[in-house]
Amino acid sequence: MLNIVILAAGLGKRMQSDLPKVLHPLAGKPMLAHVLDNARQLNPDRIIVVVGHGADRVKTAFAGQPDLQFALQIPQQGTGHAVQQAASQLLEDGNAQDATLVLYGDVPLVQADTLQRLLQARGQGMAVLTETLADPTGYGRIVRNEHGQVVRIVEHKDASAAEHAIQEVNTGILVAPTGKLKDWLARINNNNAQGEYYLTDTVGLSVHDGLPVHAAQPSAPWETLGVNSRVQQAQLERNWQGEQARRLLEQGVTLADPARFDLRGSLVCGRDVYIDVGCVFEGNVELADGVRVGPHCVIKDALVGAGTHIEAFSHIQEAAIADQAHIGPYARLRPGANIGSQAHVGNFVEIKKSTLGQGSKANHLAYIGDAQVGARVNIGAGTITCNYDGVNKFPTIIEDDVFIGSDTQLVAPVTVGKGATLGAGTTLTKDAPAGQLTISRAAQTTIEGWVRPVKKS
């Protein structure tokens, strides 16, 4: 049985925030959610999150996840004390496979393959994830004997001058046999510089009991970076964005500047996709072959078909765009926008919960909501579907090959028949028949001899 205990009870004082530290986002989602995603890749039998500061908010944020358990640690008396609070919830079969992996909620990016190697390294005993740092200040040091075997971990504040020179540090992440871990946790004390129960003291107890402690190292140094301040949060964000950008570049995506790229979710790209600077991708986005995205676009939960171009400053959310379409600049596609092949959506056009058929165009200044627009339709500048009476929403149907003149209001529910033309300025309140010109416009008059008023003296 594999248990994963995630320590998340700490205060995070240096964040200077009311929000519990592990709820602070990295790449658009809470740090703790990153840890959970990586933990779940190991298929654990149980995940226990140790909460303390802001416990209720953390629990609420992760409510309804049936594979999660919580343990409460109040007050916080150290990392060993924290794991102790979860001890009664640890699952055991009573065999050598039983293990408990300890992760930190504020070390969000440790990758599953690194954890997998740590689990391998333990054999039937304990393993710690260590790293060699040029400046090990503040970290617990890995003390090894003359044979190079790990013998204990000494915290920076408890270390001698000789131990301060050790550059191999404890990342905090470790795995131990569950039954033994419980036994060791019951034996640790708080006779140390910080008056805390150190999880790291279990390392010495394992060696004392004749069970060697192994070590493994992360694949990349950024995996074990923790977040204690907004500065570290920002640095880790850039680190992770750089890492995601690198992966996309390796897959053949062109990023105009990998340092000006933000992905807060997942982005799947076809071949020869081009992404200009300053774009933000959120949720699940797919860009098919040959898609080009101009600078400063925000794209969330969207599918974009092959060869489609999205021009600068477009905002797209929960929308699907077929192939060879042209969107923007300054287009806004809202939830339920469904844009057909070769369609054009130009500047200051907002489309919500509507279909725009193949080859149809709305090139300037329009609002299209709750509408079914057929193929080859031309929607003139300033056209508005009046879909809302203040209480209810109504549909507009515009059939194939319709031409809608500029500044037209379509008061829904209303239908424009196939091939119809609406004259500019029409306020359409009744269905427009197919193939004909429909127009509503007051007759134009000129007042003979009219003079402008002049200012009275």
What is the secondary structure of 366-421 as a DSSP string?
Answer: EEEESEEE-TT-EE-TT-EEE-B-SS-B--EEE-TT-EE-SS-EEESSEEE-TT-E
C-beta of 31: minimal distance to Ca ion in Å?
A: 13
C-beta of 188: minimal distance to ligand UD1 in Å?
A: 10
396 touches, from Ca ion, ligand UD1, none (C-beta below 5 to 8 Å by class): none
E-only strand ranges, 105-177: 126-132, 141-144, 150-154, 168-177
> Rounded to an integer, what distance in angstroms lies between the CA atom of residue 272 and that of residue 254?
7
> Under the criterion CB under 6 A, does residue 71 sit at the interface with ligand UD1?
no
> Under the criterion CB under 6 A, does residue 172 sit at the interface with ligand UD1?
yes
How far separated are the first and last CA of the chain, in Å rounded? 96
- Is 13 or 187 the residue whose CB approaches Ca ion more closely? 13
Q: Length of the chain, please?
A: 457
C-beta of 76: minimal distance to ligand UD1 in Å?
A: 3
For Ca ion, the nearest residue by Cβ is 226
With a CB cutoff of 8 Å and minimum separation 6, the contacts of 72 are: 50, 51, 52, 55, 85
Q: Of 156, 214, 296, 364, which one is the catalytic site residue?
A: 364
3-state secondary structure at position 60:
helix
- Could you tell me whether strands 437-438 and 421-422 are parallel, antiparallel, or unpaired per DSSP bridges? parallel
> Under the criterion CB under 6 A, does residue 198 sit at the interface with ligand UD1?
yes
> Under the criterion CB under 6 A, does residue 130 sit at the interface with ligand UD1?
no
Instruction: Establish whether 214 is a catalytic residue.
Output: no
Binding marks (x or -) toward ligand UD1, 203..242, rule CB under 6 A?
-----------------------x----------------
**At residue 26, what is the residue type?**
L
140 touches, from ligand UD1, Ca ion, none (C-beta below 5 to 8 Å by class): ligand UD1
β partners of residue 331: 349
- Is 225 or 422 the residue whose CB approaches Ca ion more closely? 225
Neighbours of 437 (CB within 10 A): 13
- Is 83 or 322 the residue whose CB approaches ligand UD1 more closely? 83
- Is 136 or 307 the residue whose CB approaches ligand UD1 more closely? 136
β partners of residue 170: 130
Phi-psi region of 248 (alpha: psi -120 to 50; beta: other; left: phi over 0): alpha
C-beta of 26: minimal distance to Ca ion in Å?
A: 16
Among positions 32-51, residues that touch ligand UD1 (CB under 6 A) are 50
- Is 155 or 399 the residue whose CB approaches ligand UD1 more closely? 155
200 touches, from ligand UD1, Ca ion, none (C-beta below 5 to 8 Å by class): ligand UD1
- Is 80 or 125 the residue whose CB approaches ligand UD1 more closely? 80
Nearest to 422 by CA among 401, 444, 443, 451: 401
Binding marks (x or -) toward ligand UD1, 74..103, rule CB under 6 A?
--xxxx-xx---------------------
3-state secondary structure at position 15:
helix
Binding site for Ca ion (CB under 5 A): 226
> Rounded to an integer, what distance in angstroms lies between the CA atom of residue 55 and that of residue 22?
11
- Single residue of 199, 207, 253, 322 touching ligand UD1 by CB under 6 A: 199
- Is 79 or 342 the residue whose CB approaches ligand UD1 more closely? 79
β partners of residue 439: none
311 touches, from Ca ion, ligand UD1, none (C-beta below 5 to 8 Å by class): none
3-state secondary structure at position 289:
coil
> Under the criterion CB under 6 A, does residue 7 sit at the interface with ligand UD1?
yes
- Single residue of 62, 70, 104, 367 touching ligand UD1 by CB under 6 A: 104
Task: Give me the residue label for tokens 């658009």.
Answer: 28
E-only strand ranges, 119-223: 126-132, 141-144, 150-154, 168-177, 213-216
**Interacting residues toward ligand UD1 by CB under 6 A:** 7-10, 50, 73, 76-79, 81-82, 104-106, 139-140, 153, 155, 169-172, 198-200, 226
For the annotated catalytic residues, the residue numbers are 364
